[in-house]
A and B are shown apart, each in its own frame.
Chain A
Amino acid sequence: MAAVTGTSVRPTAPPGLIGTRVNRVEDARLLAGRGRYVADVTLPRIKHAAFVRAWPSHARILSIDTTRARTLPGVVAALTAADLPPATLVDGNWIPGLAKTPQPVLARDKVRFVGEAVAIVVATSRYVAEDAAELVEVDYEQLPAVDHAGRRPSGHVPILDELPDDLIYDRGESFGNPDLMFRDAPHVFVKDLALARSMAAPLECRGTVASYDPAAGSLDVWCSTQSPHLLRRRLSAASGVAEHRVRVMMHDVGGGFGQKIAAHPEELAIALASCALGIPVKWIEDRRENLMAAPHARGQRVHLKLATDDDGRFLALRARIVGDAGAYSFNAASALIEPYITARVMTGVYRIDHYGYHVAAGLTNKSPVAPYRGVGFIAAQTARELLIDEAARSLGIDRFELRRRNMIRPDDFPYRSCTGLVFDSGSYLEALTTVERMSAYDDFRCEQEQARASGRFIGLGISPYVEPTGWGTEAMNQIGWHSFPSNDSARVSMDISGKVTISIGTPSQGQGIETTLAQISAEVLGIPLDDVVVSFTDSSSAPTSLAGTRASRAAVVSGGAVGLASQDLRERILKVAGALMETDASILTVADGVITDPSEDAASMTVAEVVQKAFQLTEIRSAEPEPNFTATRFYDPGATYGNACVGAVVEVDPQTGGVRVLRIVGAEDCGTVINQVVVEGQFIGGMAQGLGGALLERLAYDENGEILTTTFMDYLLPTSTEVPHFEVEHLESPSPYTWRGIKGVGESGTIGAPAAIAAAIADALAHTGSTVDRLPMLPEDVRAMVEQGEDRG
């Protein structure tokens, strides 16, 4: 590993396509209403499914009677677990100490959360399927619900018999000597933060079309997923159809944000129903199902302690984290992911050598959790940054200054954090300074004083951070996820007309992957952007990508694989060109689809001519015995870390508790920028989601653990009037460990914004002596801060 300094490079206009603002190539079809989402897929003889879902949060199933449903005209079948081959969902990933509790595809003896699928009705239309679903009679014996991780209701019945205390993980780890440091520390600051459950809520809900052909023994599946190859594995395991006969296809996906990473019980159930019935079956999830039964996220309690010296230097940190796993721990990427990542990234952009954490995660009678953009990071980021502000206030040190004193510096790179993350390059201090400038911090302080004098309360929050991106094997290892190697390839092939098709297993859910990968390939090959297309993902032809699109990784991983494959292809084309032009291939240049021999005047051929000749002239084979213009490359990047800093200014109405976000500024660094349009879109969109998590979004339950927020009238996403205009500046610290220095940016904004907004509320109400102790901060919570201040006098 080469050492590099963290000096960032300001974006200049680079010569090639990489780094150029180009409009997205996918937009034209989406704008014309010609996107192809899973709900738009139809097939001959297709039938429509609706699930019968549990209404109690915890109950034994005494009986299920589908007779009335089956006899309704238009109903093809009503299937329960007894009618399908036994199938459960559990993955192969392994983390020491984590108990796995496989999730059945349809509930068998027990239901463990509201919305769990109990039966599936297949009918001529979704309307009739829903009519029939209402006629399925399920007899339940209700059990007390476990609604809080670690809390046992009276008459507690374990969620899973084999797990009497509902605990799936209970471990800690220590780095350096935090005990000693805390014992001798001049100052210790403490923070508690609770994050409500919330969820990704992509605008397109989940959905699957499965078509089993009993004659061919093949299973075709269209799905709104982030991980087609992973889904193929699960489908094969559940259905018994060999993996090469299972084909997962996907066109456009209406957002994922992590919710569509894992294979879902419903997706398997639909495939099994199609196998059982021998006809295509379609399930398009509705919003109520999505809010109840699609994976949830967050749901954590963090207790944090920071030891400092008199100058505010961070001596040690200690965290206790309790995670709410939901009803099943079926997937390493689900039950533990929030609290575990929180624990592992807790030290952030600061030099902290002594750190200890303890993580406990327990099952609850709620929908299982899965990754949602910013998974685990948000709890760590928000708790830590709020605590640093509280420490700054108490020590009388300016918040920017306190951070600066403790931040990892440019000459520290590569910097190894005490938990083993190796930060490759970055602009931590510069991002902080940029936000200080953008937020006009000194002027803001005056403005704040003046406003306060006239009864207005404004506050500023800052949130600098670093995040693992790319998530190759090395990054997985650094975070402590040893059994999850990265495994991705991409194929670039040029046809006889000289045009290129890229095939990948990391499909887009809106991130503009079609554009960025085309830019990379076009630049490397020296052909116009328009000559490259990224094809829709079809697991039978796309090279395998086991993890799929997740965790800010597609640009790094697929970008690298596409870049490398394009390089191979370029070499092959030039070799043939050299033979045709009777010159040394190594001196040839290629730009805009034209290959030129610089040594001789105007000797040139187009890429298309070269490829055509290679296809048609057998003589070429003496120069290139295998004139095949398809290159497939595997790419597993080194660990790389993006960074950013977000600043937020809010105004709080102390009387109503209403919060208005006046400004959000951000300085973002994702290494080499492929397309600024896309980077800005990811960063800003992420910050808006973070705003939702900070101020609006939470899943609520009643005393029986039954979910109350089952429509968009109750689960509140930010609208254009809650979200401010975002001001963004770019920094560029290319990674030394990835192809062309690319880093990811997919989750960045979502990680940074909640802490900035929460800290801004705390700053606005600092005079009350109250602190922010939860997310989201609903108006009533903000009002409570004011009231607590009033009570204190």
Chain B
Amino acid sequence: MTVQPDEVVVTVTVNGETVRHLVDPRTTAADFLRDGLELTGTHLGCEHGVCGACTVLLDGRSVRSCILYAPQLDGCEVTTVEGLSPVPGELHPIQEAFRECHGLQCGFCTPGFLLTVHEFLSETKGADEDEIREAISGNLCRCTGYQGIVAAVQRADETWQR
């Protein structure tokens, strides 16, 4: 691989693993995760910040990875859907709740919802339905009508020991 003169080095910890990569600075964080690190669980539904499918946690906070650029990740910690469950093959209580409550259909929006909900439930307990709807309103789902997702958040609120 030829190194372009304008490439920059990025050192980033993703799902607990620290990696070092050379990137074209304009590479979006989402493309870096998907193509550079082969973590294809982060999806792109709009690439202009609206749909939330690309949501990941950056130093613990939810962000849109499609309007963040790879060099901006340097020195940061990122959690993607692949890193949500500490044990491979097991689901995180939030993921489990999505399954039990039919919180997904095509699954394309799902990774973004999971990370948004992770942040929300990390901060809140016992939220009512309106609060939950508000908390997930920045993520679009075209399949479910949100009902299963809301139910999943309520379920995870009870089952996730935190």
* A interface residues (Cβ-Cβ under 8 A, vs B): 23-24, 26-28, 30-37, 39-40, 127, 201-205, 252-255, 257, 284, 286-287, 509-512, 677-678, 680-681, 684-689, 711-713, 717, 719-721, 723, 725-726, 749
Contacts and interface: CB of A to CB of B under 8 A. Distances in A.
Contact of B149 (A26, A32, A254, A720): A720
A203 B54 CA distance: 11
A254 B129 contact: no
B85 A32 contact: yes
Nearest to A723: B146
A284 B148 CA distance: 29
A712 B48 contact: yes
B22 to A, nearest CB: 14
Given A23-B100, A203-B45, A725-B129, A720 B150 contact: yes
A31 B134 CA distance: 22
Contact of B111 (A33, A253, A687, A688): A33
Contacts of B39: 33
B107 A254 contact: yes
B42 A33 contact: yes
9 contacts: A28-B91, A33-B42, A33-B84, A33-B111, A35-B107, A203-B106, A254-B109, A687-B145, A720-B146
A678 B148 CA distance: 11
B143 A510 contact: yes
Given A31-B114, A32-B85, A711-B48, A726 B145 contact: yes
A33 B46 contact: no
Nearest to A664: B145
A509 B102 contact: no
How would you classify the secondary structure of chain A's contact residues: helix, strand, loop or mixed? Answer: loop
A28 to B, nearest CB: 7
A677 B147 CA distance: 12
B121 interface: no
Given A27-B98, A677-B102, A685 B108 contact: no
B105 interface: yes
A284 to B, nearest CB: 8
B144 A684 contact: yes
A711 B102 contact: no
B104 A685 contact: no
A202 B147 CA distance: 18
Contacts of A713: 48, 50
A263 B19 CA distance: 41
B136 interface: yes
A40 B40 contact: yes
Nearest to A126: B31
B122 interface: no
B80 A33 contact: yes
Contact of A31 (B45, B53, B104, B137): B104
Interface residues of B, number: 56
Contacts of B148: 681, 684
Nearest to A205: B45
A716 to B, nearest CB: 10
A688 B100 CA distance: 21
A255 B99 contact: no
A204 B43 contact: yes
Contact of B51 (A28, A36, A203, A687): A203
A684 B145 contact: yes
Contacts of B45: 203-205, 254, 287
Given A31-B91, A287-B48, 19 more contacts: A27-B104, A31-B110, A32-B82, A33-B111, A40-B34, A127-B27, A201-B142, A204-B108, A252-B108, A255-B143, A510-B108, A684-B145, A684-B147, A685-B143, A686-B145, A688-B144, A712-B51, A719-B137, A720-B134
B146 A688 contact: yes
Nearest to A676: B102
B140 A203 contact: yes
B7 to A, nearest CB: 13
B81 A254 contact: no
Nearest to A681: B102
Interface of B: 24, 26-27, 34, 39-48, 50-51, 53, 80-82, 84-85, 91, 95, 98-100, 102, 104-111, 114, 129, 132-134, 136-150
A702 B46 CA distance: 23
A287 B142 contact: no
B107 A26 contact: yes
A30 B44 contact: no
A127 B24 CA distance: 10
Contacts of A204: 43, 45, 106, 108
Contacts of B144: 681, 684-685, 688
B47 A24 contact: no
A254 B105 CA distance: 9
Nearest to B85: A32
A719 B99 contact: no
A32 B94 CA distance: 11
Nearest to A40: B40
Contacts of B136: 720
A680 B146 CA distance: 12
A717 B142 CA distance: 8
A711 B100 CA distance: 33
Contact of A510 (B40, B95, B106): B106
B142 to A, nearest CB: 5
Contacts of A23: 99-100, 102
Contacts of B106: 202-204, 252-255, 509-510
B129 A33 contact: no
B142 A39 contact: no
Nearest to A678: B102
B145 to A, nearest CB: 3
B40 A685 contact: no
A27 B102 CA distance: 9
Contacts of B99: 23-24, 27-28, 31
Nearest to A256: B106
Contacts of B137: 719-721
A254 B108 contact: yes
A203 B145 contact: no
Which 6 pairs show the lowest CB-CB distances between chains A and B? Answer: A33-B41, A510-B106, A254-B108, A30-B107, A688-B145, A33-B81
B104 A33 contact: no
Given A23-B100, A31-B110, A725-B129, A39 B48 contact: no
A35 B53 CA distance: 14
Contacts of A39: 34, 40, 43-44
Contacts of B141: 203, 720
A32 B91 contact: yes
A27 B40 CA distance: 16
A31 B98 contact: yes
A31 B48 contact: no
A721 B145 CA distance: 11
Contacts of A720: 132-134, 136-137, 139, 141, 146, 149-150
Nearest to B81: A33
A726 B110 contact: no
Given A31-B110, A33-B40, A712-B51, A24 B46 contact: no
B41 A32 contact: yes
B146 A511 contact: no
A286 to B, nearest CB: 6
A280 to B, nearest CB: 15
Contacts of A711: 46, 48, 50
B46 A287 contact: yes
Contacts of A253: 106
